[in-house]
Structure 1
Amino acid sequence: MTVEGDQGGATPWFLAGGGEMGRRMRAFDWAATPISGPETWPEGLRTLVALMLDSRHGMFIAWGPSLIWMCNDAFMPILADKGPGALGAPTAQVWADAWPTVGPLFDQVLRGEAQRFEDLPVPLVRDGETVEAFFNFSYNPVRDGSGTVGGVYGVVTETTDKVRAISALGSQREQFARLFDQAPSFMAMLSGPEHRIDLANPAYMKLVGHRPVLGLTVEQALPEAVAQGFVGLLDRVYQTGEAFVASNAEIGLQHEPGGPIDQRRLDFVYQPIRDADGQVSGIFLEGVDVTERAVLEQRRLALVELGDRIRDFEDPDELAFAAAEILGRTLNVSRAGYGVIDKQAETITIARDWNAPGIQSLAGVLQFRDYGTYIEDLKAGRTVVIEDAHLDPRSADTAAALKAISAQAFVNMPVTEAGDFVALLYLNHAEARPWSEEELALVREVADRTRAATERRRVETELRNLAATLEEQVEARTAELRQNEEALRQAQKMEAVGQLTGGLAHDFNNLLAAVSGNLELLEMRLRDGRLNGLGRYIDNAQGAARRAAALTQRLLAFSRRQTLDPRPTDVNRLIGGMEDLIRRSVGPDIEVEIVGAAGLWAARIDPSQLENSLLNLCINARDAMAPDGGRITIETANTWLDQRAAAERDLLPGQYLSICITDTGSGMTPEVIARAFDPFFTTKPLGEGTGLGLSMVYGFARQSGGQVRIYSEVGQGTTMCLYLPRFHGEAEVVRGPEMEAPGHGDGETVLVIDDEPAIRALIVEVLRDSGYRPLEAADGPEGLKILATGARVDLLITDVGLPGGMNGRQVADAARVDRPDLKVLFITGYAENAAVGNGHLAPGMEVMTKPFAMAALGNRIRDLIERQRG
């Protein structure tokens, strides 16, 4: 029988169906294969081919001596990437990767033995990698017309996905079983309304004392749980289908049937389990034993409360009672309290008692003999633990005594001791049972802390009493030291005065001799009418007066009571202007080198005082290099002082400019450096120095917010460095001495207040000669009367130190109440800082220090009045 073929020719009936594989088999050139064309195939093969092509199950046929391969569409997914070249090829070639596994099976089928396997693993190459695939299949022999087996017919289903899924599920089950067994929390599976225990992990078995519980109901396995209500909870969960969660629940469990009940604390959950229909079929139980955690929390809270009591306690008895109360509540004992042991009277007095209803007094005094053999431990301060007071064999008297205060299991712990007394902390259970290590540890810690706190308070009290006594002793000793210190200060003062008078008397006598001698010569020449050369005597007298003024300035600088006139100053320019003076002062044997830093910062200092300081340091350097001479180097620099460098120089961190004078002289020893700034200290021969030069330099530097330091080695020379704070701004031009003629006024009124008539007369004469109208007063009250008249006053000139109960600053302040714009010029011989505001003058006020040149006074008056006009 034939049908119309794909190409219009006749097609055998058995190749008529089959979808894609049927089409390919009809178009295949079978004549080129060992099995020839389909028309030669035996009838049985034709029938199987037709069945194969029409089947939806994966089927194949391997026919002939070479087992030529053919299959249907349903088998193509199994072929995968082998499909394109498989049709008409030998089966061993098509399945070369699997042939070691399936080849022997084909041999058995060709011998007439059908084969059937499920989930057979077969190694296959897929996508370039060898993988293990699994198959269900049956291999059956195919016979020709003579009954000879000529091929193999197979039905195949790949089960790889199923096998892997089952394997994965098995692994998950094994993993779950391991987790179930190894879980730190206890777990159990209960089934049915009777709550039969089907599964329980080792943690659950440990909780119930490893009793045989599997297969039993909860009621049968754990009868103690029934009375505590846990079976009722299980019933409710099973009936309602709602989970139950408990936290820190207390439960009593037996470690073995009939054994003692052990109280435990549990966190747990009862979770209902539902079947496929949604009905509750069992309960999953899971939880953790938190007994130790609860005990630790109780212990922590007890110690926190005890710590609060310790901070506030005053009476040791109250603290002992508080400790008993805290322990009684925490350990849930039937009775707690404290007593007192009197070692001399050999008695124990139960002082105070605490129990659940509250505080009660427990009267009674026990004799030592009542405590039997325990009393020696108590007297020695050792803890006594009695597990069963009534059955203890050591002392019947002890049992009777403890029974009298309802004691069963008992703990005695000494907590305080003073002389012959020991406060005794006691606890007892209502029922005799062993004390756990945790309970005893808490008792010991509370007792130790109570004892330590009481001892600390005792020591503090003794220290307070000792401190009070010491304070009296210290006050007496301090008074004695003050007296000695005052006596020493007076002796030092007298010694300093002696040193001062020794040096100053010499200097001032020389200066006074020069002044008086030149004035006498001037007087003699004038009397004789000899007027030639009089200027020489005047210059000599004025020079001596100026040197006397400089010596006074040294004294003021040393006392740090000098009023400075700080101005923004260009230090390099100031030093340059002094160069000739310095060279003349140090003499021709000394080489002077000045190294000025480029871009040197300005400093806000008193220029004249800086000049005096530099000249003083250069003269000291000259003397250090006598008689052979040497070199003086004056060097300026900008300096940043960090925290460490500033601390070394006793300054605040910040920006400073330094002026260093270095000589090549003999240097200083450490002992000399340590005393160099001390007043009246000098290394010069007697009569050649007052010892005030470096004191003046030091006073000027500190008053200016800076510092002076000495760097020296014996035989290597000395460097004296001045550190002055930087001024952020422009420096003023340094002026020379004010020697020009005084300026003239225009009839302005100037009030002069000075208690020295000669000085007042000089100032008034200068004012008249300069075109001003002077008014004068001898003290402050007289000057204020003139101001009170309302007379015109353009400028007030007042001495700082005045008689009459008012100093110059007080007069100026009073005058400015009604005349706030009044200009004031203070003149002073000692520059009392307190009178002019600690060295800081208010706007419109200036100061001049006596002695001063009359021309300088006139110029200062002119400047102040011109500013008044402006």
Structure 2
Amino acid sequence: MPLSFFSGGGETGDLVRSYDWTSTSLGAAESWPQSLRTTVSTLLLSPVPIVLLWGEDGIMIYNDAYSVFAGGRHPRLLGSKVREGWPEVADFNDNVMRVGLAGGTLAYKDQELTLYRHGRPEQVWMNLDYSPVLDEEGEPAGVLCILAETTERVAAERRRAEAEAAVRESEGRFRALVNASSDVVYRMSPDWTEMRRLDGRGFLADTEEPSVLWIERYIFPEDRPRVRAAIDEAVGTRRAFELEHRVRRMDGSAGWTFSRAIPVLDGGGRVVEWFGAASDITERRNAEAALAELNATLEVRVAERTAELQRAEEALRQSQKLEAIGQLTGGVAHDFNNLLTVIKSSTDLLKRPDLAPERRERYVAAISDTVDRAARLTGQLLAFARRQALKPEVFAVCDSVRALFDMIGTLTGSRIRIMTRLPPAPCFVSADPSQFDTALVNMAVNARDAMDGEGELTISVGAVDQIPALRAHPAVPGAFVAVSIADTGSGIPRDRLEQIFEPFFTTKGVGQGTGLGLSQVIGFAKQSGGEVMVESEVGRGTTFTLYLPRVVDGVRPSDDSAHEPLMDGHGMCVLVVEDNPDVGTFAVQTLSDLGYRTVLAATAEEALTELATDAARFDVVFSDVVMPGMNGIDLAREIRRQHHDLPVLLASGYSHVLAQNGTCGFELLQKPYSVEQLSRLLRKVATWQRRARIMSQ
């Protein structure tokens, strides 16, 4: 039934009316004594937090303002025993009930308690006033509590007190720091027109404060423009001021200081003052100046010593070059003297009138073989210099290895066991086959010497997809054939691995060889678009791997002309261009013996003059490459431009133009050449001429 004795009370009042009070010791609300009803009606109408603790158990009845104070515990506190409702302060409330039910009153100002109101402990402060509520007989039946929470005020006062204490402590520490520091500590007005010293001592001239003439008093005239410019920038940007400048010290001498200052802002962001310090850096600047002078002196001395060292290194390099040239000269002289001995002896014997025909043939063959050996030696020199005009062809590497097997066995000797590891499928490369054979032999001879004539030598061939990274160069992807020669010799120390490819490097004595073997190998590899890798371990052996460009499904063109007999010239006219008189005369005689008609020109310019007079009389031009003025390549190009149907055959023993750019599509005859080679190539270019004329008809 409705509680008509309640008037108003808001949300909490509604809860009080609807609460089942029979579950408490108070019983049904209709049976409450008048004193309880009156008190409840009064507290429900009050705007301040009030709670009534009725009976010995302190049953809680409160108003809306108290429900806000109770936080998350409302509405569970309504009708609960105060000890159970606020267990964290049970002892405090026990004392309140004891004093109040005995008729006493209690008052607390800024009482500190820890309460759980929102699921967590909160430190709160309150003003509490407790008074007894009398029943109809005039006896205390409950306790009425009027409270006011003062947490925010007390916390603010405590924070302010702590801050003031911290400020006092900080000021004390700052004052102690200023007094202990040798720096000059100062405050500046917002526009830097007035300085106030805080240290009372320091290294600057005087301590009068405040000072409006501080720039004139402290700063040297030469530095004042820099100081004023730095101040203007700091004031304009409100950024920190930092500058090294000269100042007048207490003894009147010039010193250096590092000044820095920061702006102090008010709540509106305006600069109210600048706070800064100046440190004496005179000793540091003097030390830096002395160090700079010392460094300058040292730089001069280092430059002088460096120049001396460079001169010494240059002299050493010249000495090494002379030594290398001497070694090369000795080696080449040794080899060529052996070859010339064979030629000289053979020619002397050929002069004997009673010489038998078979012996004459033998001596002629010896001269021919010796010339071939000399040509191979010069080719080795050019390959080492990477200026050999190579003749790349497509050939099968495994076939070349098999063909050289017996020769390598003869070179290495019977105490070295030779093994091959060749793939079943052929590996074709595009390179100069004769230079490849020379490289293979050179690597085999190098392995023989490393094994001191006894051990195992393994030749391996395989297709690979890249040249691995070596000698500071990255890996090169592509199709290559790897040809490896591995020995069981003494190995190469790590610090000499790169030297073995250097010009003239050899471990042999002077006059015992040129030391060009491995130089030829790397020169041939580089010119062929490949590379050479060496792996070695001292005491266990060395492996050299030659990489050459691989040709997939390579087909070797047949050359039947090598077996063709000498061809008669049948009166064909050849324009011979040769600047060397002896070689030119020999070429003319040779061509005449073969049935050719010849005209000799000593220079390219003379040849062009002959052609300009009557080019139709010539069937072919046979020209040297290396000549003064216009070289043979340029001559051939000019002939192609002016007389496109006139074939050109070039001859050369060496040309850097050929080594760098190739033959530019012209046929090339390598010096020294045989009569058979000259005959074959003349026939080849003549055949080309006939085909060209037939096609043009």
TM-score after normalising by structure 2: 0.62
Residue 847 (structure 1) aligns with: 669
Indicate the larger mover: 729-738 or 22-31: 22-31
Look up the SS of the partner of 1:827 in the other structure. Answer: strand
Q: Distance in 2 between matches of 1:92 and 1:491?
A: 115
Residue 245 (structure 1) aligns with: 190
Q: Which has more radius of gyration?
A: 1
- 1:740 pairs with 2:563: yes
2:375 paired residue among 553, 558, 566: 553
1:171 paired residue among 158, 178, 190: 158
Residue 421 (structure 2) aligns with: 595
Contact 1:516-1:541 within 8 A present in 2 as well: no
Residue 330 (structure 1) aligns with: 246
Residue 763 (structure 1) aligns with: 591
2:650 paired residue among 826, 849, 854: 826
Q: Distance in 1 between matches of 2:246 and 2:63?
A: 82
1:777 paired residue among 589, 600, 607: 600
1:702 paired residue among 495, 513, 523: 523
| Cα deviation 1:609-650 (Å, max 9, x = unaligned) | 3234545776898999999x997643335597766x537xxx
Contact 2:219-2:248 within 8 A present in 1 as well: no
Q: Distance in 1 between matches of 2:523 and 2:665?
A: 24
- Alpha-carbon shift at residue 759 of structure 1 (Å): 4.0
Kindly report the root-mean-square deviation, in angstroms, between the aligned alpha carbons of the 2 structures.
Answer: 6.8
- 1:180 pairs with 2:179: no
- Alpha-carbon shift at residue 596 of structure 1 (Å): 3.1
Q: Distance in 2 between matches of 1:711 and 1:808?
A: 45
Contact 2:533-2:545 within 8 A present in 1 as well: yes
- Alpha-carbon shift at residue 787 of structure 1 (Å): 1.0
Q: Distance in 1 between matches of 2:175 and 2:246?
A: 28
Residue 365 (structure 1) aligns with: none
Contact 1:511-1:547 within 8 A present in 2 as well: no
Look up the SS of the partner of 1:846 in the other structure. Answer: strand
- 1:104 pairs with 2:95: yes
Residue 434 (structure 2) aligns with: 608
2:614 paired residue among 790, 807, 826: 790
Contact 2:48-2:66 within 8 A present in 1 as well: no
- 1:137 pairs with 2:126: no
Look up the SS of the partner of 2:191 in the other structure. Answer: strand
Look up the SS of the partner of 1:564 in the other structure. Answer: coil
- Alpha-carbon shift at residue 149 of structure 1 (Å): 1.0
| Cα deviation 1:285-311 (Å, max 9, x = unaligned) | xxxx99xx999x979x89xxxxxxxxx
Contact 1:708-1:722 within 8 A present in 2 as well: yes
Q: Distance in 1 between matches of 2:159 and 2:452?
A: 105
- Alpha-carbon shift at residue 170 of structure 1 (Å): 1.5
Structure 1 residues 788 and 566: CA distance shift in structure 2, 3 A:
same
Structure 1 residues 166 and 813: CA distance shift in structure 2, 3 A:
same
Contact 1:680-1:691 within 8 A present in 2 as well: no
Structure 1 residues 129 and 449: CA distance shift in structure 2, 3 A:
closer
Contact 1:568-1:602 within 8 A present in 2 as well: no
Residue 264 (structure 2) aligns with: none
| Cα deviation 1:175-228 (Å, max 9, x = unaligned) | 4314533557xxxxxxxxxxxxxxxx875899899xxxxxxxxxxxxxxx9xx9
Residue 508 (structure 1) aligns with: 343
Structure 1 residues 135 and 857: CA distance shift in structure 2, 3 A:
same
| Cα deviation 1:449-480 (Å, max 9, x = unaligned) | 77777788889999999999x99xx89xx99x
Residue 634 (structure 1) aligns with: 459
Q: Distance in 1 between matches of 2:505 and 2:111?
A: 115
Amino acid in the other structure paired with 2:168: D
Structure 1 residues 541 and 819: CA distance shift in structure 2, 3 A:
farther
| Cα deviation 1:763-802 (Å, max 9, x = unaligned) | 356466xxxxx54336447644431223224531134578
Amino acid in the other structure paired with 2:436: L
Q: Distance in 2 between matches of 1:457 and 1:332?
A: 29
- Alpha-carbon shift at residue 537 of structure 1 (Å): 9.1
Structure 1 residues 158 and 515: CA distance shift in structure 2, 3 A:
farther
- Alpha-carbon shift at residue 652 of structure 1 (Å): 9.4
Amino acid in the other structure paired with 1:702: G
- Alpha-carbon shift at residue 567 of structure 1 (Å): 0.9
Structure 1 residues 693 and 741: CA distance shift in structure 2, 3 A:
farther
Contact 2:394-2:551 within 8 A present in 1 as well: no
Q: Distance in 1 between matches of 2:537 and 2:13?
A: 115
* Identical-residue share of aligned pairs (%): 14
Q: Distance in 1 between matches of 2:166 and 2:15?
A: 57
Q: Distance in 1 between matches of 2:456 and 2:198?
A: 103
TM-score after normalising by structure 1: 0.52
Q: Distance in 2 between matches of 1:261 and 1:564?
A: 89
Residue 680 (structure 2) aligns with: 856
- Alpha-carbon shift at residue 752 of structure 1 (Å): 3.9
Contact 1:255-1:261 within 8 A present in 2 as well: no
- Alpha-carbon shift at residue 139 of structure 1 (Å): 1.4
Q: Distance in 2 between matches of 1:748 and 1:118?
A: 138
Indicate the larger mover: 110-119 or 78-87: 78-87
Contact 2:132-2:142 within 8 A present in 1 as well: yes
| Cα deviation 1:651-690 (Å, max 9, x = unaligned) | 997588654456789999999x99999799989xxxxxx9
- Alpha-carbon shift at residue 166 of structure 1 (Å): 1.3
Structure 1 residues 666 and 54: CA distance shift in structure 2, 3 A:
closer
Structure 1 residues 822 and 331: CA distance shift in structure 2, 3 A:
farther
Q: Distance in 1 between matches of 2:506 and 2:656?
A: 25
Structure 1 residues 510 and 733: CA distance shift in structure 2, 3 A:
farther
Residue 420 (structure 1) aligns with: none
Residue 273 (structure 1) aligns with: none
| Cα deviation 1:421-471 (Å, max 9, x = unaligned) | xxxxxxxxxxxxxxxx977x63x6676677777788889999999999x99
Contact 1:658-1:721 within 8 A present in 2 as well: no
Structure 1 residues 135 and 611: CA distance shift in structure 2, 3 A:
same
Residue 235 (structure 1) aligns with: none
After superposition, residues 114-513 of structure 1 pair within 5 angstroms as 114-120=105-111, 126=117, 134=126, 136-144=128-136, 147-149=137-139, 151-152=141-142, 154=144, 156-159=145-148, 162-182=149-169, 245-247=190-192, 249-251=194-196, 255=200, 262=207, 330-332=246-248, 442=282, 499-500=334-335, 502-509=337-344, 512=347
- Alpha-carbon shift at residue 805 of structure 1 (Å): 9.2
Aligned length, in residue pairs: 616
Contact 1:118-1:135 within 8 A present in 2 as well: yes
Q: Distance in 1 between matches of 2:536 and 2:15?
A: 115
Q: Distance in 2 between matches of 1:805 and 1:22?
A: 124
Residue 220 (structure 1) aligns with: none
Contact 1:518-1:537 within 8 A present in 2 as well: no
Amino acid in the other structure paired with 2:689: I
Q: Distance in 2 between matches of 1:577 and 1:558?
A: 22
Amino acid in the other structure paired with 2:146: T
Structure 1: state its 5+ residue gaps. 185-200, 210-224, 231-243, 268-288, 303-326, 334-384, 388-408, 413-436, 523-535, 684-689, 769-773
Amino acid in the other structure paired with 2:132: N
Q: Distance in 1 between matches of 2:102 and 2:683?
A: 146
